Structures are given as structure tokens and as C-alpha cells.
Structure 1
Amino acid sequence: MKAYVVGVGMTRFEKPETREWQYWDMAKEAGTHALRDAGIAYSDVRQVPVGHCFQASTAGQRAAYELGLTGVPVYNVNNNCATGASALMLARQFVEGGISDCVLALGFEKMKRGALGDGADGGDFATSPVARHYGIMAARHGFEMSPPTAQIFGDAAREHMERYGTTEAQLAAVGAKNHRHSAHNPYAQFQDVYGVDEVLASRAVHRPLTKLQCSPTSDGAAAAVVVSERFAEERGLGGRAVEIVAQAMTTDTEESFASGSCIDVVGQPMSREAARQVYERAGLGIHDVDVVELHDCFSINELLTYEALGMCGEGESGKLVESGATTYGGRWVVNPSGGLISKGHPLGATGIAQVAELVWQLRGEAGERQVADARVGLAHNIGLGGAAVVTLLRAARD
């Protein structure tokens, strides 16, 4: 059974403590927009998977209750930075499996200012779920005082530079591109445009990464209504439907740790395998894709993901971004929303927000950031610890 996204919504992503609102207020805003976009009522929804990382156990129920008290099952999902896409994957599985005809995927986060910690939630670092990952990093690069997530990705960037000759300017080109894209996104946390030199000159976080190459902490929410083909036809939603052609989630394998490389530890093997599964199931490849929303938590991860998705060969991603192939006028437009670096990164909402952007692009509703003639979109959402989710979407008019 096919699954379709027929409604999406999100809040603006904002710096924590910008607004006096609670996570349930964010979820209500995003969920209401998604239901309205689909033209349905909350009473039509039969399941609600809800993604969040930093709220309490049943925060999903507290948020969903703002949309209605209908008694439907609510599931709390936490998969680190891949949480939003994980909630969406559950929604798709409910529909494709014939369990429910209409499912609402919600994701939200109310975060604290400052860099993310080590995943131990204030406890002993040794008990952190990502202690194995940081152990690989420390064995090769040591452990410094910079934020641990920036450090592990920054060390992956150093390895990429040493191994392939990638330059700091190529890394900065990712940040410059995504900040430029976000200037036309009203939902983005940042809408300022920076050149490569300005990105390079911004404050160092963990060399070679600078502040304008790092995603910020953010408050925000996103939602998507996923329905069956039958439901879409009965409600006359076919013209607004976007098909989830294929989707895959992978977790770490021995490959992630065997090499002792931060490039592998931060998830490139997971991403590569998820993409392979999606292409195989869909009968499509990266060269059929027009627009991509990928997980640029740091500029290096965008480059690593180009390679994992097959957009270029191993080690060629720096040259790819430098060539202009991943922006308007190039082969693909990557992160037209501004990506995590500029749109923002409220962990539980990020993966669903990526799909919201792709739905708008594939419907031709993205305004000034519209990718011309977009028919096929790909979303990539990854979390350390680890999970990688790749989703392939196609416009219903195809």
C-alpha cells in the first residue's frame, strides 16, 4: 500500500528563549497548520508518533492533546538528531502496513542555549549512549575543551582534509550556500547572507569548523499528515499528495568503528547504506533527484553526505560544492531551506521539517526559493548513536 504526505506545517525555528511558549504550543501550531493544509480534522487521525529528545517521557501526549482529546495512540520517539524522520517513518509504516489510513507525525524541541552536551544528560560520560563514538575520536585525536559534537565532526573534517585535500574554503562554501538559501525562507532561524570569507572569519568552534558552519540550538516544531492512497482518493486530496516512494533507516555496523576514523563514526557508512536501500526499493537513483534536504549539522557532514548519497566519488565532495553543482543553476539544489546550519536544528522537528520543505518544493509552493521543475526530492536525517533515515519523495502529478 502506498503512503502519501498530504499536509505539512511548521513553526518558525527560533533561538531558544526567544518566545514565551511551551513545547505543546509549538506542536499545536505546527500540527494545526498540517491538518489545515491537508483539509482534515484531528478526529480523522488514527495514530500519532511524536518525536522529541529533551522533554519528559509522555511529552508527546501533552503536545498532541492540544490538537484534540480523541483517545488515539500516541508514541514517543527519541532517536537523537534523527528523531523527526524516525517519527515520520513510523507514520509511513502504519499506512503502508494497512494499520491506519491517516497518521499525524509530530516533532518538536524546546532547547537550552549553548552547545549540545555529550549525550549523558548530566551523568557520567562513560554511561553516555555515544561514549563508544567519542572513545574512537579520543583515541585518534584526543579530547579537547570544545563542544563534543563539534569536536567529533571537526575531527572528521580534519581527516577529510588530510586524506583528500579538502580545503577550509570548500567547507566554508557549504555554510555560505546554506545561509544564502535561508534568506528566502520565512521559517528559518537565520536569514543573513554571508560570503565564504565571512564564514571563515567567524568564531572558531573546533578547527576547521567556524560558527557559521555549525547548526545552532533551536526551538521549533514540524508536522506531517501521512495517508493511504484510498484515503487521499476518498477525500479528493490527490492533487496535493506527495508520494513517499521509498524510505530506509539504518544503524551503526562494524564498519562505523573498525577503521578508527571519525568520518565513519559520525555516520557516513549508515547514510550510504540507507541511500542504497532507498534507491533499490524505488528503482530510482540520485540522478533522478532534483532537490535534497540533508543533515548539515556541520558543514563537513554535508560533504560526507554528498559522497554517501552518490552525488560524487569518495573525496570529491569539496570540489562538488565549490563547482556550484549543489545550488540553484547546478545539478541539484541542496538545502534550499537553509539546512540545519541556517534554518535551525530543534532535534525532534528537524527530519519532519526537511520533508515539509520538500513537499512545498514538489508542489511548486516554495516561493522565492522554489527549485524549477522539481519532481523528485530526497531527505536525509542522521543522529549519532546511531540512526540514519533517507526518504525519497515524488510529486503526485508524476
Structure 2
Amino acid sequence: MTGDVAVLGAGMHPWGKWGRSFVEYGTAAARAALADAGLEWRDVGSIVGADTVRGGYPGYVAGATFAKALGWQGARVASVYAACASGAQAVNAARAQILSGIADVVLVVGADAAPKGFFRPAGGDRHDDPDWLRFRVLGATNPTYFGLYARRRMALYGDTPEDFARVKVKNAALGVLNPYARYRRLVSAEEVAASAVVADPLRLLDICATSDGGAALVLSSMEFARRHGAADPVRIRAVSTVTPRYPNTVLDLPDIATDSAAGAPPPDETFRASIAGAAYEEAGIGPEDLSLAEVYDLSTALELQWYEDLGLCAEGGGAKLLREGATTVGGRIPVNASGGLASFGEAVPAQAIAQVCELTWQLRGDAGDRQVAGARVGITVNQGLFGHGSAVLAVR
């Protein structure tokens, strides 16, 4: 499948802890996206919802849930789930409908009302679920995984806790400028270092929170966009929703005891790198063409790894790129100009859609004080459970 689809509208409900239903957040985001597109709900031919497993049955059929909340009008409906990649999978489903001619205009919506504390595996006790097993057998919650990943980077590449703190400082400064962000205050490296240890070497301010929030997009065919008067819209040029390729189902690095990256597979042989690689290949665009990137910074250390997986630098060069100031607004390749999950927290079905909202505003030149000058090409990347990787590449 190849071809552009237009992004006519983008909308969000602010992230936070509001104590209300995910349906309210998603409906508000959907209405904002429709208003941004200059369309009415009755103009939409299809709606795709990104599911939340924490919202009971309405969350399992999010597309129908949002269609009901907006008012039955005969639109086609679909719902998708891929954990943290659900939003990008929803974008992919919408794009497929448009390019196949099933619908001219598709509304994509994701929202969540997240519980406080660590996420629990969905569906109760599931002995065949790797996440249930690592939680119950190993006691390894997500922050434990993030901490192990950070330790590996320290052993292989010489990254330091100070490098990880720099990611938080950068993203917090950008989150201050984003009206939809949950955390909107500057954070110093000293504050990161003084925050509680959660999973050594990562501290509380190195790890993203769980949040409520919603995001939505109005996508259309290029023909509809022109008829609607959008002569030069932001366009989604590629969507990657790849799975691992056996046997490289994990990032297979050399023995940490060697304290060297010698012999590590090239980035294009790893799963995480292939997520962006599939989008680059489809779009005919490379990392050198990017104006900005929105990446999945569940922890500060993971953001550094995405620099390398995106091809912004060589393997092991993420911390150096950060220290040089290349990844902040005004640098060579800004990453997480939105403030990232460091500033938003996780509202799982919404976050990949929110990443595309940020690209849309940036490529239009509507991002205000966090605007990346001359932005023309942007990419999003994230990774869900069970190998649901995703990337969306947008251009203008």
C-alpha cells in the first residue's frame, strides 16, 4: 500500500488526572479535530477507535463507543488494540480505508483514563502472557525493565545518569510550551538527581507517569482535501506497523562484560530500528531528510536509544547527540518538541495519535513557541507489547 492521505484536523484533550471517563476525553478530542478540519461529524464516513483495556467493555470497542457518544450517523466503525502502538495502528487502518476507496473521510480517536501506579497485565492471571510472567515470577514491572535497559547503555556506551537527566531537562522545558501537557514546569538536573530511585539507575523523574488524555485526527483522501479547499495539507506518506523478524526478536547486543559494542548487529538488523526503517523505505525518505521526530520516551534512557534506531546518529552516539544540543528545538534534529511522555505521561491508546497531532501542528507552522523552524518532514515511533512497533511519517 502506497500513497498519501491528508491530515485535515488534529485535536487533543489535555493530559492530567481528571477522574472522568475515557469517553469524555476522546469525544472532546474528536470534536476539536473536526473543528480544526472545518467538518461536521455527519461528514465522516468512518471512525476508527484505539482501544483501552482499562475502560471495561466500552474500551474494548472504542470505535463504536465514540461513534455512540458523538451520535449515531451511519459511519463505518472499527476498533484496534496494540497496547502503546494502538493509536498508530488506528491511523494505519484509517489510511487503508481511504486508499482503498472505502471512505473519503475517517476520524481516528484514542483516549484513556489510567489508574494510579504501575500498569497491570490485562485480563487477570494469564500464564501464557510474558508480561504476567515477568510481573509475577520476576517481580519486574516496567520501570525495572527501563532500569535494566539504562544499565546496558551505561555498560556498552558509557552513558551516565547525568545524560539521562539531560533528556528530562530538555523535554520538561519543551513541555512548558505545550498547553496540552500535564507537567508544565522547568526541571533541573539537580532535581532529577534528588528524586527517588525507582529502578537503579533511573529515578522518579527519569520515568514517565500514567495519565488521562485523548487525541484525535481527521484524515481524508487527497481528492477530498482539494475539494474541501486544503490545497497543501500535511500528508501521511508512510505508516509502519512491523513485527520482529525471527530470530532477532529482541535487540541482540554483545556480552555486556566486554564493555564494548564491537560485534553488535547494525541498527537495520534490530527490531526497533526496523520500525522506522519500514517507514523510510515506503516513503523514499531517510533520516537525513527529517525536520523533527516524536519518540516514545517511557524513560529518559529509552529516548537516547530511539536516536540511534532512527538513524540520527551511530549506535552508541545518542548521548553525544544530546550533549551537543542537536535534539532540542533550535538544534539540528529536534526530538520530542511536544515535551514527550516526560511532560504528558502515558494515556496509552492516545499517545501515538498525539504524536501525529504534534507533527501536524509543526508541519503547518502552528506549534507556537516550540515551533521547529522550516519543518517539512517528521516521524513518530513507538513500540507496543508483543512486538507491535509503529512509525508514522508525515510531510508537507
TM-score, with structure 1 as normaliser: 0.90
Matched, 1:99 2:91: no
Identity of aligned residues (%): 37
How many angstroms does 1:364 deviate by? 0.7
Aligned equivalent of 2:303: 302
Shift of 1:120: 4.4
User: How far off its partner does 1:14 sit?
Assistant: 0.6
Distance 1:80 1:262 in 2: 30
Q: Distance in 1 between matches of 2:364 and 2:5?
A: 16
Tell whether the 8 Å contact from 1:271 to 1:390 is kept in structure 2 after alignment. no
Q: Does 1:366 align with 2:359?
A: no
- Cα distance in 2, alignment partners of residues 64 and 262 from structure 1: 51
Q: CA deviation at 1:344?
A: 2.2
Q: Secondary structure at the match of 2:83?
A: coil
Aligned to 2:69: 66
In the alignment, structure 1 residue 221 sits paired with structure 2 residue 221: no
Q: Quote the offset at 1:293 in angstroms.
A: 0.8
Alpha-carbon offset, residue 129 of structure 1: 4.8
Report the Cα distance in structure 2 between the residues aligned to 1:121 and 1:25, rounded to whole angstroms: 24
1:11 aligns with 2:13: yes
Q: How does 1:146-185 map to 2 (within 5 A)?
A: 148-185=141-178
- C-alpha change, 1:207 and 1:262, in structure 2 (3 Å) is farther
- Indicate conservation of the 8 Å contact 1:24/1:64, yes or no: no
Report the equivalent of 1:109: 112
Structure 1 window deviating more from structure 2 (293-302 vs 70-79): it is 70-79
Give the structure 1 partner of residue 180 of structure 2: 187
- Whole-angstrom distance in 2 between the partners of 1:199 and 1:52: 33
Matched, 1:248 2:240: yes
Instruction: Say which is worse superposed, 359-368 or 246-255, in terms of deviation.
Output: 246-255
3-state SS of the aligned residue for 1:256? Answer: coil
Which whole-Å CA distance do the structure 1 matches of 2:118 and 2:168 have between them? 18
Q: Give the structure 2 partner of residue 143 of structure 1.
A: 138
- Aligned partner of 1:35 in structure 2 is 34
Distance 1:235 1:247 in 2: 24
- Say if 2:294 and 2:355, in contact at 8 Å, map to a contact too: yes
Quote the Cα distance in structure 2 between the aligned partners of 1:362 and 1:306: 20
Cα shift at 1:52: 2.3
Q: Name which of 227, 232, 243 aligns with 1:234.
A: 227
- Structure 2 portions without partners, runs of 5+: 257-263
Q: Quote the residue 1:283 is aligned against.
A: 284
CA distance in 2 between partners of 1:9 and 1:325 (Å): 28
Distance across 1 between alignment mates of 2:117 and 2:251: 32
Distance 1:303 1:272 in 2: 13
Distance across 2 between alignment mates of 1:344 and 1:219: 8
Distance change >3 Å, CA 225–CA 261, structure 1 → 2: farther
2:91 to 71, 88, 92: 88
Contact 2:29/2:215 (<8 A) preserved: yes
Query: Partner of 2:391: helix, strand, or coil?
Result: strand
Cα deviation per residue 1:252-276 (whole Å; 9 max; x = unaligned)? Answer: 3321248488999xxx933311211
* Partner SS state of residue 219, structure 2: strand
> Partner letter of residue 84 of structure 1?
G
Structure 1 consecutive aligned stretches of length 4 or more whose deviation exceeds 3 Å: 129-132, 257-264
The amino acid across from 2:51 in the alignment is H
Given residue 13 of structure 1, which amino acid in structure 2 is its aligned partner?
W
Deviations 1:319-374 (A, max 9, x none): 21122110022111111111011122200000000100110111111111111111
Distance in structure 1 (CA, Å) of the matches to 2:255 and 2:148: 6
The amino acid of 2:299's aligned partner reads F
Question: Matched residues in 2 for 1:319 and 1:260: separation?
Answer: 20
Would you say how many aligned residue pairs link Structure 1 and Structure 2? Answer: 379
Q: Aligned residue for 1:394?
A: 395
Change in 2 beyond 3 A, CA 1:332/1:260? closer
Gaps of 5+ in 1: none
What one-letter code is carried by the residue in structure 2 that aligns with 1:242?
Answer: V
CA RMSD of aligned residues (A): 2.3
Q: Counterpart of 2:260?
A: none
Q: Say which SS state the counterpart of residue 383 (structure 2) adopts.
A: strand
* Aligned equivalents of 2:351, 2:296: Cα separation in 1: 9
Contact 1:8 1:356 in 2 (8 A): yes
Amino acid at match of 1:60: G
Q: Quickly say closer, same or farther: Cα 1:388–1:5, change in 2 above 3 A.
A: same
Asked if structure 1 preserves the Cα contact closer than 8 Å seen for 2:250 and 2:270, the reply is no
State how 1:301-320 maps to structure 2 within 5 Å. 301-320=302-321
Is the partner of 1:336 in helix, strand or coil? Answer: coil
Q: Could you tell me which amino acid in structure 1 is paired with residue 226 of structure 2?
A: E
Q: Distance in 1 between matches of 2:250 and 2:295?
A: 23
Quick one: distance in 2 between partners of 1:260 and 1:363?
39
Q: CA deviation at 1:385?
A: 1.6
Q: Does the C-alpha gap of structure 1 residues 97 and 262 become closer, same or farther in structure 2, counting only changes over 3 Å?
A: farther
Distance 1:143 1:320, change over 3 A: farther
SS of residue in 2 equivalent to 1:188: coil
